[in-house]
Amino acid sequence: MAEVRLENVTKSFGKLTVIPDISLTVPDKSFTVLVGPSGCGKSTLLRLIAGLERPTSGTIRIGGDDVTDDEPSKRGISMVFQSYALYPHMSVARNIDFGLRISNMPTEEREKRLAEAARILALEDYLDRKPSELSGGQRQRVAIGRSIVRNPKVFLFDEPLSNLDAALRTQMRVELAELHHSIDSTMIYVTHDQVEAMTLADQIVVMNKGRIEQIGSPMDLYDTPASVFVAGFIGSPK
């Protein structure tokens, strides 16, 4: 059970209040997509959930537990970024299971998780290659593989496809939807691509200036946008 809840969370950097007061429930196993203009606080919100930033005030719960003061490694969360750095000198397999090796996981369990991630991501035939021998989409899959092997309760994605070309983005979108079906995790996904949001989301959260403008299913937002801002955002061409 990995519902994520933010209760009256605020975040300021010095005098700049980026998130004035957000309360949000991300249901267990949902695919929740955060959208909103650049600078509205999407990455900050993910970083707060991951524990990479601490809220100025408010409470963050994962699976009901108050994790507000927990270290990132204690939260059962994994984050995939837009710019993912793979280790160039290591094989795909070592890139994926590196985190498990340094945590001294028993070999048998580590190999099981690596094989499972490779299967889910269709990387079985590439495990011995170096990152430089992969396509952009395959590299991004390796980055996602690193997260999968850690068995997180919650996946956070910060615009993971925005460096890929349009054809690859379409393919990865399909793969992410399949990933969500094959591993029962809660996913919180930031994008500024409406098509991505509309096709992937169970629930879309539209943010503006650190506040939530509207939350709903893709159809709710499309049919009954709560404000001109939402209508403009959902309806605007890419």
Q: Hey, which residues between 28 and 47 contact ligand ADP (CB under 6 A)?
A: 36, 38-44
15 binds ligand ADP (CB under 6 A): no
- Taking CB under 6 A as the criterion, the residue among 13, 66, 73, 87 binding ligand ADP is 13
Least gap, CB of 26 to ligand ADP (angstroms)? 17
By C-beta, is 19 or 67 nearer to ligand ADP? 19
Q: Is 18 in the site for ligand ADP (CB under 6 A)?
A: yes
Please give the backbone phi and psi of residue 189, each rounded to the nearest 5 degrees, phi first.
Answer: -130, 120
Least distance from C-beta 157 to Mg ion, angstroms?
11
CB of 192 to Mg ion, least distance (A): 9
Cβ neighbours around 95 below 10 Å, total? 25
Nearest to 45 by CA among 173, 211, 163, 193: 211
Q: Does 43 bind Mg ion (CB under 5 A)?
A: yes
Q: Centre a 10 Å sphere on the Cβ of residue 5 and count the other Cβ atoms it contains.
A: 18
CA distance 79 to 95: 15
State which residue, 148 or 205, has the beta carbon closest to ligand ADP.
205
- State yes or no: residue 172 binds ligand ADP (CB under 6 A): no
Residue nearest to Mg ion (CB): 43
SS3 130: coil
86 binds ligand ADP (CB under 6 A): no
Residue 40 or 117: the one with the smaller Cβ distance to ligand ADP is: 40
Q: Nearer Cβ to Mg ion, position 18 or 86?
A: 18
Starting at the earlier edge strand, list the strands of the sheet with 211-216: 77-80, 154-158, 186-190, 31-35, 203-208, 211-216
CB of 126 to ligand ADP, least distance (A): 31
Question: 4-13 and 211-216 as β-strands: parallel, antiparallel, unpaired?
Answer: unpaired
- 43 or 140: CB nearest Mg ion: 43
At closest approach, how far in Å is the CB of 45 from ligand ADP? 7
Q: For ligand ADP, give the closer residue by CB, 149 or 201.
A: 201
d(CA 106, CA 116): 16
Question: Is 87 an interacting residue with respect to ligand ADP (CB under 6 A)?
Answer: no
C-alpha 118/C-alpha 112 separation (Å) is 10
Task: Quickly list DSSP for 58-124.
Answer: EEEEETTEE-TTS-GGGTTEEEE-SS----TTS-HHHHHHHHHHHTT--HHHHHHHHHHHHHHTT-G
Residues that bind Mg ion (CB under 5 A): 43
Give me the residues that bind ligand ADP (CB under 6 A), please: 13, 16, 18, 36, 38-44
